[in-house]
């Protein structure tokens, strides 16, 4: 991929072709080709390689100090779960994370395993009349009430 970008950049720089025609030839937009030219001027051939799409920072992520305090409390008290937040509040840790934030930190560290989610029973849907599961349960209720009377 970097070789193709390099050839497109060379077509503009060395051969003197216009950016719009080279962009059309390579099937990219003019803005993309201008970005490649800027990256080539800044970093050379290394600037044309694929880059990560991961964000540089996450401003709302839990601070490392708070996460370390929560993990330490979990290691000391093995039975405590995400409600460690109460103890963190008592120790006046700032900013105070949410229970779900502590849960995510504990699962990232491998200190707890995420539990299986409970699924709803498939046949219990009020708006579906006449399904076999709902009809069977209704029929069994009717027959059991007749036997009691």
Burial class (CB within 10 angstroms; exposed 0-12, middle 13-18, buried 19+) of 40: buried
Mean model confidence pLDDT for the chain: 83
Span 72-120, pLDDT tens digits? 999 998 888 888 888 888 888 888 888 889 999 999 999 888 776 676 6
Listed by start position, the domains of the chain span 2-48, 64-109
Tell the residue number behind the tokens 């708006």, with chain if given: 127
The structure's pTM equals 0.49
DSSP helix, strand, coil percent of the chain (3-state; round to 5): 60, 0, 40
User: Of 105 and 125, which is predicted with more confidence?
Assistant: 105
Q: Give whole-number Cα distances, 118 to 101, 112, 121, 122, in Å.
A: 21, 18, 9, 12
């Amino acid at each position: 991929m970097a070789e193709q970008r390099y050839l497109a950049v060379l077509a503009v720089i060395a051969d003197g072709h216009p950016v719009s025609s080279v962009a059309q030839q390579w099937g990219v937009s003019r803005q993309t080709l201008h970005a490649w030219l800027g990256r080539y001027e800044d970093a050379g051939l290394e600037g044309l390689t694929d880059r990560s799409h991961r964000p540089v920072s996450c401003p709302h992520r839990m601070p490392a100090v708070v996460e370390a305090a929560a993990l330490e409390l979990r290691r000391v008290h093995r039975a405590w779960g995400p409600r460690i937040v109460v103890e963190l509040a008592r120790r006046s840790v700032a900013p105070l994370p949410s229970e779900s934030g502590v849960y995510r930190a504990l699962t990232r560290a491998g200190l707890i395993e995420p539990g299986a989610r409970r699924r709803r029973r498939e046949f219990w849907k009020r708006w579906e009349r006449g399904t076999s599961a709902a009809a069977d349960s209704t029929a069994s209720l009717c027959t059991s009430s007749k036997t009691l009377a």
